[in-house]
Amino acid sequence: MAGRKNIIKVRDKMQRDYEYELIEPKGKNFAPEFRPHLSPKQMLELGVFGGKYMTDTRGEFPDPWFKKAKLCSEKHDPKLNYFKINASQPLRVWQAKGWIHPDDPRGWFQWYCRYYLGRRHEDDERQIKRWQAFKRHWGAVKKNCLDGDYDCRRKQRQALLHWAYDSRKI
Q: How many CB atoms lie within 10 A of CB 151?
A: 9
Closest among 104, 96, 146, 144 to 122, alpha carbons compared: 104
pTM metric for this prediction: 0.94
Q: How far apart are CA 143 and CA 156, in angstroms?
A: 12
Can you give the pLDDT at residue 2? 53
User: How many residues make up the chain in this entry?
Assistant: 170
Quote the distance between the C-alpha of residue 167 and its chain's center: 14
- The DSSP letter of residue 36 is -
Can you give the pLDDT at residue 1? 44
Q: How far apart are CA 36 and CA 132, in angstroms?
A: 10
Write the CA distances from 20 to 91, 111, 134, 164, integer angstroms: 23, 12, 27, 23
Residue 11 phi/psi, 5-degree rounding, is -150, 95
- The DSSP letter of residue 17 is E
- In the chain (170 residues long), the average pLDDT of successive 10-residue segments reads 78 93 98 98 96 88 96 92 94 91 96 98 98 96 94 97 95
- The DSSP letter of residue 165 is -
- The DSSP letter of residue 138 is H
Can you give the pLDDT at residue 133? 96
Q: How far apart are CA 90 and CA 106, in angstroms?
A: 10
